[in-house]
Amino acid sequence: MTGISLAAAWNSPEDKQYSLPGAVMLKMALGEAPQDIPALREVSRKKLSAATSIDGGPIDRITSELAGGFRACRLHSAAASLGAGNGDREQFDPIEEATGLARTFVMRVPSDAHVGRLCETLRQIPTVESASPNYVTALPFDMQAPLTPEDNDDIRALHAMVHAGEALKYEPGDRSVRIGLIDSGISENHAELQDVFSAGYDTVQLDDRDVAAGVHLLGDHRRKDSNPTDDYVGHGMGCAGIIAAHGLRIPPGIGGQCSILPLRALAAARLPGKDKAVGLGAISDLDMALKLAVDLGAKVINMSFGTDDSAISPSSPRPHADTIEYAVTRGCILVAASGNNGQETRYWPAAYPEVIAVGAVDRNGRPAGFSTRGEHVALCAPGEKVLTTSLRGYQHATGTSFAAPFVSGAAALLVAHAHRRAFPVDHRIIKRVLMTSARPFGLDSPTGCGTGILDAKAALQALDREIDAVLDERPEDDGGADDG
């Protein structure tokens, strides 16, 4: 997981993260957003045309002066409009308004415009809450040879490290618990994952002109649709196998009988000098996928992507802040990879306190050298040469990207177990239980790696203790009898 350090001459000097040319993400102040600007979903379907005016005042005037005009769409659609065909009649609820999702717009200006200067100027307008470039992140990963008989000696070692098998005997999981997988997409016909995926969505909308010279976009990348298929990268399939594989040739997924809601938000791309395809995602596409995951019923959301805080301008808003707040307010549990730079730093969304940030350990249970550290890291899970599914077979996958789905699957088991006991849980309870039940690293406990290594069975037992304690404190129901 990394950013792209390619040049972006249209951006501010403080920005080391690549951003789309001619793209601005604009958030207006509460009560100031116009109601008649169409949602990007409707524009991409060619049902409506993008707006050429936002406020008829300073935003329009300044953008025209600095960039020479623009087209604008509302980034998100209202949850109430999903499947309703409301077109321009988006009815956002109070949560969508308060978190800012109803007030966020994507503006496209001429590609030669200086986006950094435009954003700095727009931020000075009282009706504008924030303005930033549309940053892009990339997800490389290791993929080795197909599964061979030699792998059988330790095929279950990493799952045994987190006591996945014992956890699944304790709680088999529940099909009704959906894990939103925001990633590079999936391959629906893999034998290990038959009947695991629910209907998903593809939010990728990149143009060849959006990427730097030498970067080649592969396959479907221009049109948002309901097909989350990945033909090139395999990053999402690696995560999916860890969560929900049937156990035909690799260990069963730690999420048991949970289902996966696949959201393809990362396009396939080949970077200069690289043979393997990587996942390439704009912040707008990732944010759209995150909101869709919430609106389509995901209870747990796996986010194996991130943007390095040190690579973006200090004056820009931190990526995904509003969608994270929206997801948590809607009751979702969010899990994210901590990053792969091996340093003490922050990646977004992992660094948000509401998110469960996951680092990686090697096959011996030691923190991996590449795993990003920090006080925000909650715990670690296996992330080195994890045997899992690929697009058309199996792979060994390395990175915190593949540690995160161990924790997402365990969180799904916790949710299923809580449902079984008719006990409501939220992100605070799940995060606390996972952290307090983690197996400590030992005497040489490293800093910035969380409380220890995921222990899925211990987490379920800890949840039971919490539930029992609450139930014991409840007054007995006397059936409404009146002794008077």
| Confidence at residue 476, expressed as pLDDT on a 0 to 100 scale | 64
Does a structural domain hold residue 319?
yes
Task: Write out the chain's pLDDT in tens, 484 residues.
Answer: 444 556 677 888 888 899 999 999 999 999 999 999 999 988 988 889 999 999 999 999 999 999 999 999 999 999 998 866 554 467 999 999 999 999 999 999 999 999 999 999 999 999 999 999 999 998 864 444 445 545 555 778 999 999 999 999 999 999 999 999 999 999 999 999 999 999 999 999 998 888 887 889 998 887 778 899 999 999 999 999 999 999 999 999 999 999 999 999 999 999 887 888 999 999 999 999 999 999 999 999 999 999 999 999 999 999 999 999 999 999 999 999 999 999 999 999 999 999 999 999 999 999 999 999 999 999 999 999 999 999 999 999 999 999 999 999 999 999 999 999 999 999 999 999 999 999 999 877 789 999 999 999 999 999 999 999 998 877 765 555 454 4
Asked if residue 152 and residue 110 are part of one domain, the reply reads no
Final residue belonging to a domain, choices 86, 110, 135: 135
Q: Report residue 72 CA to chain centroid gap.
A: 25
Identify the helix (H) or strand (E) that includes residue 348: strand 347-348
Q: Residue 348, exposed/middle/buried by CB under 10 A (0-12, 13-18, 19+)?
A: buried
Residues 277 and 162 in one domain: yes
Judge whether 127 lies within some domain. yes
Give the model's pLDDT for residue 81.
Answer: 86
Instruction: Tell me: do 89 and 204 sit in the same domain.
Output: no
Residue 419 covered by a domain: yes
Q: Are residues 150 and 128 in the same domain?
A: no
Q: Identify whether residues 46 and 158 lie together within a single domain.
A: no
Domain boundary residue among 135, 160, 188? 135
**In this predicted structure, what is the pLDDT of residue 113?**
95
- Domain CATH for 195: 3.40.50.200
Asked if residue 484 belongs to a domain, the reply is no
**pTM for the complete prediction?**
0.94
Shared-domain flag, residues 439 and 325:
yes
* Whether 202 and 273 share a structural domain: yes
- Same domain as 106, residue 7: yes
Three-state helix/strand/coil letters over 352-398: CCCCEEEEEECCCCCECCCCCECCCEEEEEECCCEEEECCCCEEEEC
Report yes or no on 287 lying in a domain: yes
Q: Mark whether 167 and 278 lie in a shared domain.
A: yes
Question: Is residue 427 one of the residues assigned to a domain?
Answer: yes
Full domain range(s) for residue 209: 140-468
Domain boundary among 115, 135, 155: 135
**Do 276 and 337 belong together in one domain?**
yes
| Environment class of 285 (CB within 10 Å of its CB; exposed 0-12, middle 13-18, buried 19+) | buried
> How many domains, in total, are found in the chain?
2
Beta strand pairing call for 394-397 and 356-361: unpaired
Cβ-in-10-Å burial (0-12, 13-18, 19+) of 52 comes to exposed
363 lies in the same domain as 417 = yes
- Residue at 262 is within a domain: yes
CA–CA dist 249, 241 (Å, integer):
11
Give yes or no: residues 153 and 277 share one domain: yes
The pair of structure tokens assigned to 85 is 């065909």
Q: Is residue 477 part of a domain?
A: no
